[in-house]
Amino acid sequence: MSTKEKVLLLGATGATGGSILDGLLEANQFDVEVLVRPSSVEKPSVQQIKDRGIPLRVSDLNVSEKELVSTLQGIDILISAIGPHDLLQQKTLVKAAKSAGIKRFIPCAFITVAPPQGTMLLRDEKEIIYNEIKRLELAYTVIDVGYWHQISFPCLPSGRVDYAALVPNTTIHGDGDAPNILTDIRDIGRFVSRIIADDRTVNKYVYTWGDILTENEIMDIAEDLSGEKVERQYETIEESEKRLNDAQSALSLDPADPAKRTLVYITQYIYSKYVRQDNQPHYAKYLGYLDARELYPDFKPISFREFFTEVLNGKGKRPYGH
Amino acid sequence: MSTKEKVLLLGATGATGGSILDGLLEANQFDVEVLVRPSSVEKPSVQQIKDRGIPLRVSDLNVSEKELVSTLQGIDILISAIGPHDLLQQKTLVKAAKSAGIKRFIPCAFITVAPPQGTMLLRDEKEIIYNEIKRLELAYTVIDVGYWHQISFPCLPSGRVDYAALVPNTTIHGDGDAPNILTDIRDIGRFVSRIIADDRTVNKYVYTWGDILTENEIMDIAEDLSGEKVERQYETIEESEKRLNDAQSALSLDPADPAKRTLVYITQYIYSKYVRQDNQPHYAKYLGYLDARELYPDFKPISFREFFTEVLNGKGKRPYGH
């Protein structure tokens, strides 16, 4: 009989969930299973997981609590890396996790450090789930990761890093001097594996980071490593605010449109990171977060410099989803 | 020039605010001033404060942020013990406190330990203010006190303690075995004076307590001290739930009615304390609260037994407001 803790992961085919799956397997100290929807079982991305020998549990989330409790049988730790549009679907899952005696629930967080309410729609919906968890006194850990290296680098005049860019970009916001918490996608799962095995993080918020960098510092690193001069674009604070307001107005007229919703997420990220300047260690500390680097001083995350060197060497990978 | 910290107290004429005022003065380490509305200046309760030599600052709360900033000039610590129906009026005050450079804001908490959202309307509205504080990165401390000794004792067949009872009562809810955090009103201010002078409580939640007692234990103490037999009434969990649902339905038909709102507060307190059993140290710890008794082991609060002995000796006092 295995003495390893049994971990069930929801959202394993996403970028964050994929990193978590890799990190859990790499840690080699958990029995890992993956929760997928019936409609996803035949997808190539799910088949790939199956082909790696990882057991699947199949359920929709909009079923009864009782049915979900049965799906969660025998699980110690439940990790949700559900997509940004489906956050509120975790509601019944939280209840079922409590009823099933889950030892720790990791709700879908994995974003920047931001105010609990009123600044980012994405964060507001996560907060609804955190509050439901707290209402049930379910053991939890909230893990935020800042922004990814993979969506924080500028494109170069030569075009040689465009292949790895989700959206080609050379914009500096405001004066470019706002520091931001950054984590390489691939480190998310490694951090998660440490955090879920650590009693100090029960019922706590934790943030991970590989680097804390401003946009100017990122540009300098990119220029230093590439020998190229980045063609910097500038967006003023006022322009960022206007883009945010426009996106929010458009969504309010059509609240169910996923593209408009995504644009609100993006412009709110920019507003939070560069105008409010939330995504920083001092604000994380104020909000009560633990610093994963202080918890695990031996862990060496991938620095932005290391990441961008790989991209320059053709070893980058365009991220998908979030 | 005084080196004492300057404390401004809002709500000093209420039961909680009155205790805080007494506690601040007793501590003799703060310069205390009181914030009152223009319409209250002539009230006897405000005149009594003035007669004690305590300076008044006079302002409404629904004025501009700029005007409030001017009112807060020179204040180090702002304490709000605003009434339960006016909680959301703290919104501009929070902004002004940030702009005025207030070193620590104590928002109106001072209730039982309860979930941040979805269980108690009173707590939900406080949470809106806490979230606004966090959005502004304003230094704060949330101080909850559980339920008061003064509204937790049973009446006796002889009628000799009725004079001190807000609502005469001998009810036991459910099996009467749910422990509850209790603080004597008079200790609230003493705890507050310790907490606001303590760097360990910055940006934290703290709960105070004089006793942790179940209703059965309270009845036993009352019988033991009085020599009388309490005529216990029993309310089942189902009855408590029905009373809660009825009160909530009535309020939903008439959301602005303060009496219906108050009845919702009362039935939600009962539901939270005895059905959910929230108001306990283990849940406070789960929610991240510090225990004031652990912080101040030398402080000897008034026990329920001491309090009820006073009531039996005719030295009780009927509490007003909350």
- With pLDDT > 90 as the criterion, what percentage of chain B qualifies? 97
Residue A321 has pLDDT above 50, yes or no: no
Q: Tokens for A32?
A: 């890992």
Q: What is the pLDDT of residue B291?
A: 98
Chain B positions in Cβ-Cβ contact with residue A120 (cut-off 8 Å): none
Contacts of A116 in chain B (CB under 8 A): 131, 134
> Is A72's pLDDT higher than 70?
yes
pLDDT at position B304: 98
Residues of chain A by 3-state class (helix, strand, coil), percent to 5: 45, 15, 40
Cβ contacts of B115 on chain A, cutoff 8 Å:
131, 134-135
> Which residues of chain B neighbour A128 with C-beta distances below 8 Å?
117
| Domains detected in chain B | 6-147+182-210+278-302 (3.40.50.720), 151-177+215-275 (no CATH)
ipTM of the complex: 0.95
Question: How close is the nearest chain B Cα to the Cα of A133, in Å?
Answer: 10
A126 given a catalytic annotation: yes
- How far does B17 lie from chain A, in Å, by closest CA? 27
Q: Answer whether residue A167 shows pLDDT above 90.
A: no
Residue B118 with chain A: CB contacts under 8 Å: 131-132, 135
Nearest beta carbon to residue B135 from set A118, A131, A134:
A118
Q: For chain B, what is the radius of gyration of the CA atoms?
A: 20
Q: How close B269 gets to chain A, by Cα (Å)?
A: 15
Q: Which of A95, A98, A126, A273 is catalytic?
A: A126
Helix axes A90-99, A121-135, angle to 10 degrees: 20
Is residue A177's pLDDT more than 80?
A: yes
Given B43, B66, B103, B126, the catalytic residue: B126
Q: Quick one: closest CA in B to A287, which residue?
A: B134
Contacts of A288 in chain B (CB under 8 A): 203, 288
Per-residue pLDDT band at B319 (split at 50, 70, 90): confident
DSSP secondary structure string, A188-204? HHHHHHHHHT-GGGTTE
User: In this predicted structure, what is the pLDDT of residue A2?
Assistant: 61
Q: By the 8 A CB rule, do B19 and B321 touch?
A: no
Query: Residue B282: closest CA among chain A residues belongs to which residue?
Result: A137
* Residues B145-164: tens digit of each pLDDT: 999 999 999 999 999 999 99
Compute the nearest-CA separation of B36 from chain A (Å). Answer: 30
Minimal C-alpha gap between A95 and chain B (Å) = 14
Mutate to test the interface with B, among A136, A137, A205, A271 (most CBs of B within 10 A): A137
User: Closest chain A residue to B116 measured between Cα atoms?
Assistant: A131
Task: Write out the residues of chain A at the interface with chain B, using a CB-CB cutoff of 8 A.
Answer: 115-119, 128, 131-132, 134-135, 137, 203, 283, 286-288
Chain segment B156-186, per-residue pLDDT in tens = 999 999 999 998 899 999 999 999 999 999 9
Give dist(CA B189, CA A188) in Å, integer: 46
Residue A322 has pLDDT above 80, yes or no: no
Query: Is B9 in contact with B35 (CB distance < 8 Å)?
Result: yes
Q: What is the pLDDT of residues B250-265, one digit of tens each?
A: 999 999 999 999 999 9
Contacts of B108 (CB under 8 A, 6+ apart): B11, B80, B81, B82, B87, B90, B126, B129
Contact B203 A288 (CB under 8 A): yes
Identify the CA nearest to B166 among candidates B12, B19, B15, B22.
B15
Q: Please state, in angstroms and rounded to a whole number, the distance separating the CA atoms of residues B276 and B178.
A: 9
Chains A, B: CB contacts under 8 A, how many?
Answer: 40
The answer to whether residue B322 scores a pLDDT higher than 50 is: no
Residues in B lying within 8 Å of A, measured between beta carbons: 115-119, 128, 131-132, 134-135, 137, 203, 283, 286-288
- The residue of A120, A130, A131 whose CB has the most chain B CBs within 10 angstroms, and thus the best one to mutate to test that interface, is A131
Is the per-residue pLDDT at A168 higher than 90? no
- Residue B167, pLDDT score: 87
> Average pLDDT, whole number, for chain A?
96
**pLDDT confidence of residue B13:** 96
pTM: 0.96
Can you give the pLDDT at residue B135? 98
Residue among B267, B284, B277, B244 nearest B174 (CA): B277
pLDDT reported for residue A300: 98
pLDDT: which is higher, B2 or A29: A29
**Of residues B115, B134, B283, nearest to A131 (C-beta):** B115
Q: What is the pLDDT of residue B2?
A: 61
Longest dimension (CA), chain A: 61
